[in-house]
Amino acid sequence: MEYQEIKSRMQEVLARPVRPIPEDKLEPERRRYFEQHKRSLDIFEKAKNLIPGGVEHNLSQNKPFPLAMDRAKGYKVWDVDGNEYIDYLMCGAPIILGHSFSPLDEKIIELIRDKGPGMGLTSEYELLAAEQIIRHMPGVEMVRFLQSGTEADMAVIRIARAFTGKQKIIKIGGSYHGWSDQMVYSIHLPGTVNMQSRGIPDECYAHIVDVAPNDFDGLEKAFKDNQDKGGVAGILVEPIGGESGSHPVHPDWNMTIRKLCDQYESLLIFDEVVTGFRLDMGGAQKLFNIKPDLTVLGKIITHGYPSSGAVAGRKDVMSVCTGSMMEKIYIGGTLAANPISMAACYHALKLIEEHDAVGKATAYANRLTKALNDLFATRPDLGFFVYNFGPIMHYVTTAFFSVSLSSPDALDQINTRRKTADDYQLIGMSQGLCTLAGTRMYTCMQHDDESLKKTVGIWEYLLSLIPKG
């Protein structure tokens, strides 16, 4: 689906009243959720006293309580009560080969058994992993490994400032670049500025310039107006739009940014934490044929194994990471580039290429998108629709991501729409469908005809609970 169609269909959903599931239909579903997940509930009740909120993860079904998972294989996961799910969370995007992919896991088990998990020193796997990334990504000549996407986003800002000698970082509203002090600014929803987190002094945002997605004039103005205020060191961009494409960008957006970066001698930074090795082996930069100066990586580069993050890019820019005190920038981490992560990176990227995992996951996502849109077309009163960027699928049912903060009842709208999306997600989960935050689905190369049929069947059931109107 093209950008214009996505945007106008989002606006159509937003213009319609939200379509909640009536209480008499919702109540038995809620009851079933409690009945089916007794052990999960027990774990949650105990965890609440030891872990704030009783759970760390905010990506999946946490209402009325989170489900504790037991194991995963292929495209399926099972919870501690033995319930089976078709998984489209895929660990939040890192998994594309399928869960517990033996050819990868065997390599890691072998490493731990024969060599040990880490010594705090470099290993040959670090070189092999870097070679894999550089081989595929057009904008990458050097790589520095860190421990998470958040860390890599923090590091990339420091690198950009050190290289250019400039101060300001442009951040696009709605995009997510981890949870560091500087970056929790207008995340998830454009224009929310500092509303998402307490505990961050306003000074942390002093050099962050917030630009709304697709605001071409505002973008140019941000480069221009900040020339005398420290200059723009770089602009951080999710190349398919904020929140992995929840806020899709105009087809000219990325190229316009590239040109402005060249004009104002600022660095273009693609955050490819989700798109790298998922959208294409060469990331969005290869697919869109736009070379960033710096790239942020994470998630899929270790395929679900811990410590997943890297900054990569032009050799001259990346070289600010080296040198003596006063010359270099300081970044690091005890477990950065540990052998497990590096072996996982090397073998995972090789396997993804050998199995054409991106091609297969994309083909499946295209089929599922069509099948769901065909189903949604049978209920024109709802306006629901699905769009995808390769194996990254978004479904729009309440369009809470599109609510404009300038509307007078914005917060009420967001809350009501979010709640209804949560109710849909609860029913999906009870029926065995695991998605991300009630709006997103990641596919892997092992999703098949059976998973497609079941997924459509669960949506059919869900639609049957929403009264026609």
Binding site for ligand PLP (CB under 6 A): 92, 148-150, 153, 176-178, 238, 244, 271, 273-274, 298, 308-309
68 CB-side CA count, 13 A: 15
Is the Cβ of residue 58 or residue 322 nearer to ligand PLP in the bound state?
58
Q: Minimum distance from CB of 390 to ligand PLP (Å)? A: 15
Q: Establish whether 176 is a catalytic residue.
A: yes
Active-site residue (options: 79, 271, 280, 293): 271
User: What gap in Å lies between CA 269 and CA 292, rounded to an integer?
Assistant: 6
Question: What are residue 360's phi and psi, to 5 degrees?
Answer: -70, -45
> Please, which contacts does 69-76 make with residues 24 or more away whose CB atoms are closer than 8 Å?
71/100, 72/99, 72/100, 73/98, 73/99, 73/100, 74/98, 74/99, 74/100, 74/444, 74/446, 75/99, 75/444, 75/446, 75/447, 75/448, 75/451
Is the Cβ of residue 132 or residue 302 nearer to ligand PLP in the bound state?
302
Is the Cβ of residue 345 or residue 462 nearer to ligand PLP in the bound state?
345
Is the Cβ of residue 79 or residue 243 nearer to ligand PLP in the bound state?
243
Q: Minimum distance from CB of 158 to ligand PLP (Å)? A: 16
Q: Which residue is it, tokens 């199995």?
A: 355
Q: Minimum distance from CB of 175 to ligand PLP (Å)? A: 7
Helix axes 102-115, 339-354, angle to 10 degrees: 150
Is the Cβ of residue 177 or residue 314 nearer to ligand PLP in the bound state?
177
Q: Minimum distance from CB of 241 to ligand PLP (Å)? A: 10
Q: Minimum distance from CB of 145 to ligand PLP (Å)? A: 13
236 CB-side CA count, 13 A: 40
DSSP for residue 52: G
User: What gap in Å lies between CA 452 and CA 85, rounded to an integer?
Assistant: 13
* Closest by CA position to 134, among listed 357, 306, 318: 318
Strand partners of residue 311: 144, 296
Is the Cβ of residue 284 or residue 466 nearer to ligand PLP in the bound state?
284
Cα→Cα distances 285→68, 275, 277, 293, 334, Å: 37, 9, 11, 10, 30
Active-site residue (options: 125, 299, 346, 360): 299
Q: Establish whether 299 is a catalytic residue.
A: yes
Is the Cβ of residue 66 or residue 92 nearer to ligand PLP in the bound state?
92
User: Nearest to ligand PLP by Cβ — which residue?
Assistant: 149
**For 266-422, where are the E strands, in sequence order?**
267-271, 294-298, 309-313, 385-389, 392-396
Helix, strand, or coil here: 73?
strand
- Characterise 114 by phi-psi region: left (phi > 0), alpha (psi -120 to 50), beta (else): alpha
∠39-451-447 over CA atoms, to 5°? 105
Q: Minimum distance from CB of 437 to ligand PLP (Å)? A: 11
Q: Minimum distance from CB of 274 to ligand PLP (Å)? A: 5
* Dihedral Cα 331, 333, 335, 340, nearest 10 deg: -10
Is the Cβ of residue 149 or residue 383 nearer to ligand PLP in the bound state?
149
Q: Establish whether 424 is a catalytic residue.
A: no
Q: Minimum distance from CB of 344 to ligand PLP (Å)? A: 14
Active-site residue (options: 33, 88, 125, 176): 176
Strand partners of residue 396: 385
For the annotated catalytic residues, the residue numbers are: 176, 271, 299
